[in-house]
Amino acid sequence: MLSPSDLVRDLKITITFCTRLPLAHAKPIEAADIARASWAMPLGGALVGLIGAAVYWLATAIGLPQWPAAALALAATMLATGCLHEDGLADTADGFGGGASCERKLEIMRDSRIGSYGACALALSLMLRWSALASVARPGAVALTLIAAHAAARAPLPAFMRFVPPARSDGLAAEAGRPPIESVATACVLGMIALGFGLGLAPTIIALLLLSAAAILMASLSMRQIGGQTGDVLGALEQVNEIVILLVAAALLKA
């Protein structure tokens, strides 16, 4: 059982690692800290979603239509995270699509330059998230959807880190290690709660089934392509999860 000070510490670690928000932390964050504090990833995601929701509300309050308001909300969430997960998606797409061997795929994923696979993956992600969010339209529903999407999209990441081995012997995934099972369970519960409040019962059930399928498919693909997971793969999974949740909301919560 974590003490209140431990809870605050883990939340600060997660926010510092997963966002670019100027939150002071007493000492440098170690890789092992990230695994232990991973239970709080949905809470960090909820904060990002809240920022996007505030921007959407402000945009609609000054008279902007839903499409540019959705674009501004999406931009706000990307600014808050420093495009951390978008970078992972692009690197993963480039590596999986452009490398002929496992070693070459991992080498491409470490290259900071973006290739055609990465550019197309980013464009598709942006278009799907923007259009899905704009389709929800009602500011109240958009706010809840954004918070739920960003919280629940990060909830499966600790489980993925625990059950899918690192693809490299070095790097963040290997150094962080496996999150404790308590962190995995807590993150999953927080993600389900966020979905329930944000989307309602039926959309939550559908979203959970699709998120489970996405995690299984990503795990299988990662094992075949590079023999495990990396930080980039985790970022790509977050993007896929976010898209899934927003598409479910667009289909079932339309104005």
Q: Say whether 89 sits in a helix, a strand or coil.
A: helix
Beta bridge partners of 229: 166
CA distance 89 to 125: 9
- The candidate with the shortest Cα–Cα distance to 228, out of 155, 170, 181, is 170
Domain ranges, ordered by start, for the chain:
4-252
What tokens appear for 153 in the block?
């999209």
CA distance 233 to 90: 10
What tokens appear for 248 in the block?
């479910």
- Rounded to 5°, the CA angle 3-4-6 comes to 65
- Using alpha carbons, list the distances in angstroms from residue 154 to 12, 142, 195: 16, 18, 12
What tokens appear for 204 in the block?
């939550």
Written as tens digits, the pLDDT of the chain (255 aa) is 667 777 888 888 888 888 888 776 556 667 677 888 899 999 999 999 999 999 999 999 999 999 999 999 999 999 999 999 999 999 999 999 988 899 999 999 999 899 999 999 999 999 999 999 999 978 889 999 999 999 999 999 999 999 999 998 776 666 677 899 999 999 999 999 999 999 999 999 999 999 999 999 999 999 999 999 999 999 999 999 999 999 999 999 865
Residue partners of 122: CB distance under 8 A and separation at least 6: 86, 89, 90, 114
pTM reported for the whole predicted model: 0.94
